């Protein structure tokens, strides 16, 4: 008889993982986690830029729809960040509307009489020599309003842009020059039509002399001379005999809508104004020589970057002549890397300071947007960027990819970043 008990069932022996095997597994897991986190972070940043482009496009299209629905101009104000050292960006916008033209009171056209004693034409030593020929100008630059015009009150209430005089031409807001206390020299101008009828001509006008003459605080200065030199002798302040031209229309800047609230772009995304193609009137003054200790990228952008749409849906106002307005959106960290003089790109390569874009007094966005070259493998990355373009003649607003290619010159910057927008190709939305 077979002894079945001699074949006792014993479980097979099991070997554990060795230390080397555990380390290999842990290493693989860590590698996969790292790759996943990097991929997710990259996708998240890219989506934020795309989302910001969609948001800006939607807001501009919304302003256009509002203008058509209301039968009156509506628009968007791009609000620049209040930072002298790096205020080259915008992360917020707000809806605006046009203001009714102002034509209260009457005007008198005069020759230069901004310095005391009042009542006599200023001398070249008093600043009345715009062409620098050593002879007092006889052109008509001075528009004096009657008390009913209330121009000074409009300035105090913020309805007229501030124009500040840089007395020593150093480009810095010295004590006594910064009237609104924002730390920069403002060059805001309004427009005035003289005379106020259909025969009138529009002129840009500065407000720097409003309130300076105690006898009459309502004095505006034409940026360019009045078209008619006057009918009185050049030594007389009043340019026209009798009443002369006495009507006007003053165009006030757009106002923020009563129910409007600022709209912010997604966190970490900004409009890179230096890399955008915007009207020259928005940019800092193009100085051929800069004051000691002041770099061009420290000069402020305009505080009123407005795009207004007419009831017909087209862009109206001074920016309409631009044709195409390109807003470049990017991550704040990428813009900051290119803002400081001698900035370093994420790849560690040194790039020129942004002040270089004013070379020769002209704006050149091709020295701002980092590009890619097919023949060079060490180029810095372009970063995540988007482009929103406004076609001012039609009012169309569209999003496009940026063209990052750096051609045969291999200068590390995109040669034609707005190519797709001009061609109307490559829509991303």
- Model confidence over 102-134: pLDDT tens digits? 999 999 999 988 887 788 888 888 878 777 788
- Model confidence over 310-344: pLDDT tens digits? 999 999 888 888 899 999 999 888 877 765 444 44
Query: Residue 179's pLDDT is what?
Result: 66
Considering the entire predicted model, what is its pTM? 0.69
Selection from 428, 407, 425 nearest residue 416 by Cα: 407
Instruction: Give the pLDDT band of residue 351 (cuts 50, 70, 90).
Output: very low
Q: What is the mean pLDDT of residues 272-294?
A: 69
Residue 80's H or E segment, with its range, is strand 74-80
Instruction: Give the pLDDT band of residue 350 (cuts 50, 70, 90).
Output: very low
Rounded Cα–Cα distance for residues 263 and 90 (Å): 11
Greater model confidence, 423 or 58: 58
Instruction: Give the pLDDT band of residue 289 (cuts 50, 70, 90).
Output: very low
- Model confidence over 196-249: pLDDT tens digits? 999 999 998 888 888 877 777 899 989 889 999 899 998 889 999 887 899 999
- Model confidence over 4-15: pLDDT tens digits? 555 555 666 556
CB 358 within 8 A of CB 287: yes
Selection from 189, 177, 213, 192 nearest residue 102 by Cα: 192
- Model confidence over 40-74: pLDDT tens digits? 554 566 788 999 999 999 999 999 999 999 999 99
- Model confidence over 157-167: pLDDT tens digits? 878 877 776 66
Q: Phi and psi (nearest 5°) for 324?
A: -125, 130
Mean pLDDT of the chain: 78
- Helices first, then strands: H and E counts in the chain: 4, 16
Query: Residue 58's pLDDT is what?
Result: 94
- Model confidence over 68-79: pLDDT tens digits? 999 999 999 998
Look at 260-269, 392-401, 419-428 and tell me which has the smallest mean pLDDT: 419-428
Rounded Cα–Cα distance for residues 157 and 189 (Å): 16
């Amino acid at each position: 008889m077979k002894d079945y008990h001699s074949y006792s069932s014993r479980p097979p022996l099991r070997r554990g993982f060795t230390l080397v095997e555990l380390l290999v597994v842990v290493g693989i897991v860590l590698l996969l986690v790292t790759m996943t986190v990097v991929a997710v972070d990259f996708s998240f940043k890219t989506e934020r830029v795309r989302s910001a482009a969609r948001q800006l496009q939607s807001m501009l299209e919304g302003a256009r729809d509002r203008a058509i629905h209301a039968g009156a101009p509506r628009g968007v104000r791009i609000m620049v960040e209040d930072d002298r050292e790096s205020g080259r960006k915008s992360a917020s916008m707000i809806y605006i509307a046009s203001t009714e033209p102002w034509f209260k009171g009457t005007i008198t056209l005069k020759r230069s009489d901004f310095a005391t004693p009042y009542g006599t034409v200023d001398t070249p030593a008093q600043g009345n020599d715009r062409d620098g020929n050593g002879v007092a100008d006889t052109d008509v630059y001075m528009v004096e309003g009657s008390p009913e015009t209330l121009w000074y009150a409009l300035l105090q209430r913020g309805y007229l842009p501030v124009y500040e005089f840089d007395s020593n031409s150093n480009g810095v807001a010295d004590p006594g020059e910064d009237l609104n206390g924002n730390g920069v020299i403002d060059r805001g101008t309004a427009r005035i039509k003289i005379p106020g009828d259909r025969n009138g001509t529009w002129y840009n006008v500065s407000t720097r002399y409003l309130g300076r003459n105690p006898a009459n605080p309502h004095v505006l200065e034409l940026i360019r001379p009045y078209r008619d030199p006057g009918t009185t002798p050049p030594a007389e302040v009043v340019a026209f005999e009798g009443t002369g031209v006495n009507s006007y229309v003053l165009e006030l800047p757009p106002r923020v809508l009563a129910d409007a609230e600022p709209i912010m772009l997604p966190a970490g995304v900004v409009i890179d104004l230096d890399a955008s193609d915007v009207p020259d009137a928005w940019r800092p003054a193009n100085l051929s020589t800069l004051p000691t200790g002041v770099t061009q990228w420290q000069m402020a952008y305009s505080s009123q970057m407005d795009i207004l749409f007419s009831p017909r849906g087209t862009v109206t106002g001074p920016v309409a002549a631009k044709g195409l307005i390109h807003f470049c959106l990017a991550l704040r960290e990428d813009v900051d890397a290119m803002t400081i003089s001698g900035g370093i790109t994420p790849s560690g390569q040194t790039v020129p300071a942004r002040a270089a874009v004013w070379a020769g007094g002209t704006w050149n966005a091709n020295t701002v947007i980092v590009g890619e070259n097919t023949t060079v493998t060490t180029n810095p990355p372009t970063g995540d960027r988007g482009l929103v373009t406004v076609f001012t003649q039609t009012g169309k607003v569209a999003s496009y990819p940026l063209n990052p290619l750096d051609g045969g010159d291999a200068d590390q910057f995109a040669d034609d970043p707005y190519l797709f927008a001009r061609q109307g190709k490559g829509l991303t939305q």
